[in-house]
Structure 1
Amino acid sequence: MKYAKSVGFLFGWIVGLMAFTDLGAQVIPYPLSKMALKGEFELKAGMPIVVEKGLRTEAEFLSNYLKEGFATASPILESGNGIHLRLDENLSDSLGNEGYSMVIDQSIEIVAPTSTGVFYGIQTLKQLLPRDFSNVVSGQVMLSKTIIVDKPRFSWRAFMLDDCRNFMGEEVVKKMLDQMAMLKMNVFHWHLTDDQAWRIEIKKYPKLAEVGGTRKDTQLARGSSERTGKPQTGYYSQDQIREIIQYAEDRHIVIVPEIEMPGHAMAAIAAYPWIGSLGTTQEVPVTFGKMEDSFNVADPRVIGFLKDVLDEVAALFPGEAIHIGGDEVNHDPWMDSESIKDFMRVNGLSTPMDLQIHFTNQISTYLDSKGKRMMGWNDILGHDIHNEPDSSSAKVEQTLEKSSIVHFWKGDLGLVEAAAKDGYEVVNSNHWDTYLDYTYRRLPLSKSYAFDPIPEGLPQVYHGKILGLGTQIWTEYTRTESAMLQQVFPRLLAYAEVGWTFPENKNYGRFLEVVESMKMQLSQMGIKFGDYAGN
């Protein structure tokens, strides 16, 4: 029986029945609508996957997963009976670019307007299979018959890995991409440069990675004089990055690289001291916090250097956005430099924040010329979000380019509304609600789940300016993969549901049931959950 032709009718009908029908706690993120049918469907080992052109990659994902459980390959065919994967562009109005419909009845059929939607339907199907599917010996599993119509609430559902403070490596990145794909998260924000390391090969400036990718030691704890006593080194070649980009693309994930400027730049300056403002930076810092040096953005040679770097970054990463950080810039060396102050006077820049915005707009315009969009933490707007005692933000005259994506992380939530009203698109990563390096006491699972990227009271007319959310793991004091994973999980499951599931369908009690049911399954992948009990 074919249901795809009537998806538009089913969409409205099932949503109307949502309060009365539910298959129970099985899937994260929770779908838009689910309706139980009578009976069960027998999924057998070796059942063919029937696809049309354009869905081969998605079919191979499903085939490989079924083989893991059944130890029998599912052939991929262009016609016949089996699990049907199909595209229908006519569904784009109701399902958008990432939605799908799935019917499990006399057969299994996943239909979507795009291959991304089909891929997400497959992720839902995988979660409907038994949690111990990898140990199936009978050659069959029974699935409850159901109809699911699903699409996301937000288009930007991001996870950020800080690979600078502690280098995680290619296999860890791929493991996180796999988990993001399962959870229908679609943006991997890759923090690749900072004061403590430069992790990306730049062919024109090889010392960035060769020198900037190594530091002699690492601070053990915030404010501590103790060190690990070991050097820390590592970076990604451009060939490795291309491989990871392809790995992400196959999972319908876009990678947004973060190349910090003009602050958080001391690893780069240690490699090429002439690009700094102090003229004294020679080593990659081993401590954390707001560092002393910043790029000398009044020097045309430094601007050329940064454009050269961005040329290679833009050529590597096919996604639209490039993140330039822009946060926690130490303006003191600028104000102590006569040449930089002369540059400010000549260009009519009254404050160091005006200089920063002037620089940021140069970078934004350059990226625009390459078909990219600049993204930065909300410091780039020029507000005093750090409550600096001598802040000059009230006098800032420069205005950030409107094409910029504002990544909110700190300050009064009213700044989100102000940015949206000013025409900026915003990703909300309010640190109190999304920073995964925080303890579970400070950011319990319940608070992660309750987060709403749209601030309370934001007028409906501006809701479209909120692209979605990001959640971030900063790794200053998270030195190992296992420690990082325990900070991330299970809170990543909560953020997946925040980004995908509409508020009326969220239920924390149901969510906790799924978390518990997935705990053992993920532990078999080497993912141990943090101590979230009672949250």
Structure 2
Amino acid sequence: MKKFKILSVLIAVIALLSSCSLKERKSTESANYQVIPLPSEIVTSEGNPFVLSSSVKILFPEGNEKMHRNAEFLAEFLDISTGIKPDITSAAPEKNAIILGIGLQHSNKEAYEIVVDENSITITGASEAAVFYGIQTLRKSVSADAKRIVFQPVKIKDEPRFAYRGMMLDVARHFQSADFVKRYIDILALHNINRFHWHLTDDQGWRIEIKAYPKLTVIGSQREQTVVGRNTGEYDGKPHGGFYTQEEIKDIVKYAQDRYITVIPEIDLPGHMLAALAAYPELGCTGGPYEVAGSWGVFDDVLCPGKEETFTFLESVLSEVIELFPSEYIHIGGDECPKVRWEECSDCQARIKELKLKDKEGHKAEHYLQSYVTARIEKFLNNKGKSIIGWDEILEGELAPNATVMSWRGMEGGIQAAQMGHDVIMTPTAYCYFDYYQTQNTDEEPLAIGGYVPIEKVYSFEPAPEILTDKQKAHILGLQANLWTEYIETPDYVEYMVMPRIAALSEAQWVKPEKKNYEAFLTRLPGLLNLYGKLGYNYATHVFDVQAKMIPNFETNSLDVELSTIDNAPVYYTLDGTVPAVSSTKYDGKFSIRENTEIKAMAIREGGNTSKVLSEKINASKASYKPITLLTTPDPNYRYTGEGMLVDGLFGNSTNYKTGKWMGFKGENIVAIIDMLEPTEISTAQIRNCVVTGDWIFDASEIILESSDNNSVFTIVNSQKLLDANTTHWSDIAVHTLSFDPVTARYFRLTVKPTVMPAWHPGKGSKGYVFIDEISLN
């Protein structure tokens, strides 16, 4: 990860250049209250500023331990940002001081106010936690080094939109040290996040000491080796393991509490339990042998709910978890639990018979058996004063009476739960999975699980959709982002995947929707990135790269190209595939392309600092930028910019079908009509399919091309039936070309039929998804 550390330092320098020159530093800096997350109300006023100097003191209410700690945090933060560390006292005069107080009368206990005049800065909160958030705002307003810091008179009123503001870290797949977990908590605190969801157990490792079951850490915390890449079948041969002692966990929980963060532990059950089964095989349906998983995925071996000792185990484990975590919530997972073993297990079938469970409402009896597990564990935890959170799979069957649903497979599960009157935390993959790539140019990125969640997508997330009534929206407690670590081994890589997307997340969590503005957010981001640099965080720098909008223009029959940077840096570009330089064409506004072109663009900043090179090939055909009518509705999750992207000349460069280059259709014939505007001769038609059978995305089964002069009566030009002879999962870009004697027509209709998934596939008998990036006619 060294190259990412170097880039972080470089971009920290670039961020400074946007506000001041490194050659001639100002002796005085003014605090900038436009921070992230943006406060609700900022009202500046006339008057002399407050000057931060070494003589300033921080006042806190005498006898209030939490406020004393807040004062210590503020002194430390100011020292890091400015080199000035004020003294702390509860008895100094209220002049030339930063005064911390509680007692703000507000219905939101996390609300605070900041008042600045020439004599003092006063931070008053509705609680100690609220004062801490005010301190974070003050801290982030002075991220620049200077000999003299001044605060212009201002009154800031602020409160968070959501009470639950979460971030998850998976330490089961790749273990992280206790010291790094504390550093991660510091990152959360910087962004006003108040819930740390700690994923402690999974198939690949058990990370929490349980005294009643010592083999969970002796055996379950260690795997012999780890698969290389995405389940390639090759392994690294290196043992991997680690766990947290109960004393370490208590220390981490206290560390988080001091920063007003609640740690929510996750013990995933009844699936994702191979590590536990390796230690105690008698808890499985088959009795094993089992081993801690060294690869990724979903495994058929899960806990056996037909055995009473399974519940003895779970209740003992959770009893110790309760003692370690004062959180109101315990997360019990509930996701990705196959029922294969239960269907064949005599104990499970006996339990099903005892409970009189039946197939109904589209769910098998085994689904209701999992509902029984969830409800029984919920009752146990409720009796201990705890509530449960579960992934949205707990909706399958019957939802436990008091469960909170964490909706990850899109928003549908959360919407359904809210409509049922259950509390919800929104964390859909499309917006909140930080293990997904953050750029389309994945070739230059460290390996990730796939997907595409850029910072602007995170920022755009609205967790309380309009389909819900106001009463139902009240059940949306908040939102959370997740960092799963199958491919994320090191602390540096964790930070790289989290930052700066967590800045966008914090604003989505804190700021009311009418106050959100992505362009304005980008102008505030460099100051926060500068602070990341001071703190030594390893953050991704994509926001400083050249951004491109490429949109087909059906009036001019061309591709309109717009280039931009976060700081309006000069951008130079070429159209012949060569690397740009200051001698290349300087971008000065939108331009258009009609032919095959390879665009390369680069920002060249002061001092010769350059961005990464933006590179995009335009593969124009006779169909490019011609009007297209799509007679089939795409899957809403994969519609992106609409039918125009099928004739924009832009190819998907990888099987990452979530980059916005591939349009997805769910099990339907895809029918598109292209208007060539005038009779046009063609002799080939080509489509490109993205195939990822592990995600139920298959190649086409048939392609039919038809022509027409009137857009009414069509004649078949050519067709091709395709046979997928693979008997195992595969992933590739399948290119299909129809060649034929030249045909002249104005309209061409293309039909692409989906494949019925074969017997070897879990989705056998159903029609697969089809993903297309471009229709080319030549």
TM-score w.r.t. length of structure 2: 0.61
- Compare 198-207 and 215-224 and name the one that shifted more: 215-224
Task: State the Cα distance separating 1:304 from its structure 2 match.
Answer: 0.7
Deviation string, structure 1 residues 312-362 (Cα, Å, up to 9, x no partner)? 000110110000000000110011112211110111122111000001000
Within 5 Å, give how 1:31-50 maps onto structure 2: 31-38=39-46, 39-50=48-59
Match of 1:110 among 120, 123, 131: 123
- Partners of 1:225 and 1:182 lie apart in 2 by 40
The correspondence of residues 123-272 of structure 1 with structure 2, limited to 5 A, is 123-132=136-145, 136=146, 138=147, 140-272=148-280
1:408 corresponds to:
407
Deviation (angstroms), 1:282: 2.7
C-alpha spacing 1:285/1:486, structure 2 compared with 1 (3 Å): same
Aligned-pair Cα RMSD in Å: 1.6
338, 349, 353: which is aligned to 2:367? 353
Aligned-partner Cα distance in 1 for 2:524–2:209: 41
Shift in CA distance, 71/516, structure 1 to aligned 2, threshold 3 Å: closer
Match for residue 391 of structure 2? 377
- What amino acid sits opposite 2:44 in the alignment? A
CA distance in 2 between counterparts of 1:130 and 1:270 reads 50
Question: How far 1:433 moved relative to its partner?
Answer: 1.0
Query: 2:103 is matched with which residue?
Result: 88
Shift of 1:431: 1.0
Gap regions ≥5 residues in structure 1: 1-22, 383-395
Asked if residue 66 in structure 1 is aligned to residue 65 in structure 2, the reply is no
Shift of 1:225: 1.4
8 A contact 1:131–1:518 mirrored in 2? no
Distance 1:67 1:443, change over 3 A: closer
Distance 1:287 1:414, change over 3 A: closer
State the partner residue of 2:562. none
Q: What is the alpha-carbon distance in structure 1 between the residues aligned to residue 296 and residue 286 of structure 2? A: 19
1:500 to 507, 510, 514: 510
Q: C-alpha distance in 1, partners of 2:289/2:495?
A: 34
Secondary structure, aligned partner of 1:110: strand
Question: Which whole-Å CA distance do the structure 1 matches of 2:530 and 2:137 have between them?
Answer: 18
Preserved CA contact (<8 Å) 1:48 1:77: no
Number of the residue aligned with 1:449: 459
TM-superposed deviation, 1:521? 2.6
Moved more, 240-249 or 273-282: 273-282
Matching residue within 512, 515, 528 for 1:518: 528
1:308 Cα shift? 0.2
Q: 1:291 deviation in Å?
A: 1.0
Which has the greater radius of gyration?
2
CA distance in 1, matches of 2:286, 2:203: 14
* Structure-2 separation of matches of 1:269 and 1:414: 32
- Aligned residue type for 1:410: R
Separation in structure 1 between the aligned mates of residue 91 and residue 289 of structure 2, nearest angstrom: 62
Go from structure 1 to structure 2 and tell me whether the alpha carbon gap of 1:160 and 1:125 turns closer, same or farther (over 3 Å shift). same
**8 A Cα contact 1:266 1:281, kept in partner:** no
Which residue is 2:69 aligned to?
57
Task: Report what 2:576 is aligned to.
Answer: none
Question: Once the 2 structures are TM-superposed, how far is the Cα of residue 162 of structure 1 from its aligned partner?
Answer: 0.4
Contact 1:220/1:477, CA 8 A, preserved across alignment: no
Deviation at 1:73, TM superposition (A): 4.3
Distance 2:202 2:232 in 1: 20
SS of the counterpart of 1:324? strand
2:300 to 292, 298, 303: 292
Whether the aligned pair in 2 keeps the contact of 1:46 and 1:72 (CA below 8 Å) is no
Secondary structure at the residue paired with 2:122? Answer: strand
Higher alpha-carbon deviation: 194-203 or 142-151: 142-151
Question: Relative contact order (C-alpha < 8 Å, sep 6+): which is higher?
Answer: 1
Cα distance between partner residues in 2 of 1:75 and 1:485? 32
TM-score between the two structures when normalised by the length of structure 1: 0.88
Aligned-residue offset at 1:526: 3.0
Structure 2: gaps of 5 or more residues: 1-30, 359-364, 441-451, 549-778
Q: Secondary structure at the match of 2:539?
A: coil
Q: Residues of 2 paired with 1:182 and 1:145: CA distance?
A: 24
Where does residue 431 of structure 1 map in the other structure? 429
| 1:458 to partner: Cα distance | 1.8
Offset, 1:25: 6.9
Aligned residue identity for 1:186: N
> What is the one-letter code of the residue matched to 1:505?
K
- Tell me, yes or no, if the aligned pair for 2:33 and 2:141 is still in contact at 8 Å: no
Alpha-carbon distance, 1:410 to partner: 0.7
- 1:515 deviates by 2.0
Distance 1:70 1:433 in 2: 38
Task: Measure the CA separation in 1 of the matches of 2:290 and 2:401.
Answer: 37
Change (3 A) 1:461 1:170: same
Measure the CA separation in 1 of the matches of 2:525 and 2:84.
27
- The secondary structure found in structure 1 opposite 2:174 is coil
What are the within-5 Å matches in structure 2 for residues 303-318 of structure 1? 303-318=311-326
Q: Is the 8 A contact 1:264 1:291 kept in 2?
A: yes
Which structure's residues are more often strand, by fraction? 2
CA distance in 1, matches of 2:78, 2:413: 48
Q: Which has the higher helix share?
A: 1
Deviation at 1:459, TM superposition (A): 1.6
Q: Partner of 1:334 in structure 2?
A: 342
**How many Å apart are 1:30 and its aligned residue?**
0.6
Query: Which residue in the other structure is 1:365 paired with?
Result: 379
Partner of 1:17: none
**2:474 aligns to what?**
464
Inter-partner Cα distance in structure 1 for 2:246 and 2:173:
20
Classify the secondary structure of the residue corresponding to 1:288.
Answer: coil
Amino acid at match of 2:499: F
Offset at residue 170 of structure 1 (A)? 1.2
- Tell me the distance in 2 between the aligned counterparts of 1:526 and 1:235: 26
8 Å CA contact retained: 1:294, 1:329: yes
Choose 307-316 or 456-465, whichever is displaced more: 456-465
Contact 2:72 2:88 (8 Å CA) reproduced:
no
1:169 Cα deviation from its structure 2 partner:
1.2
Could you say which residue in structure 1 is the equivalent of 2:133? 120
Query: For structure 1, which segment, 25-34 or 474-483, has the greater mean C-alpha deviation from structure 2 after superposition?
Result: 25-34
CA distance in structure 1 between the partners assigned to 2:127 and 2:417 by the alignment: 32
> Contact (CA 8 Å) 1:25, 1:510: kept in 2 or not?
no
- Aligned partner of residue 72 in structure 2, secondary structure: helix
2:730 maps to what in 1?
none
Contact 1:402/1:423 (<8 A) preserved: no
Match of 1:391 in 2: none
5 Å-filtered alignment, 1:384-399, equals 396=397, 399=398
Aligned residues: 489
**CA shift in 2, pair 1:152/1:238, >3 Å:** same
| Amino acid aligned to 1:435 | Y
Distance 2:502 2:58 in 1: 31
Q: In the alignment, residue 532 of structure 2 is paired with which amino acid?
A: L
Maintained 8 Å contact 2:143/2:527: no
Please report how far the alpha carbon of residue 70 of structure 1 lies from its aligned counterpart in structure 2 after TM superposition. Answer: 3.3
Shift of 1:416: 2.3
Equivalent position of 1:18 in the other structure: none
The equivalent of 2:701 in structure 1 is none
Letter in 2 for 1:356: Q
Show CA shifts across 1:112-164 (max 9, x none). 111011111111010111333xxx5x3x4112221100000001110000001
Q: Secondary structure at the match of 1:309?
A: helix
Query: What is the distance in 1 between the residues matched to 2:144 and 2:371?
Result: 51
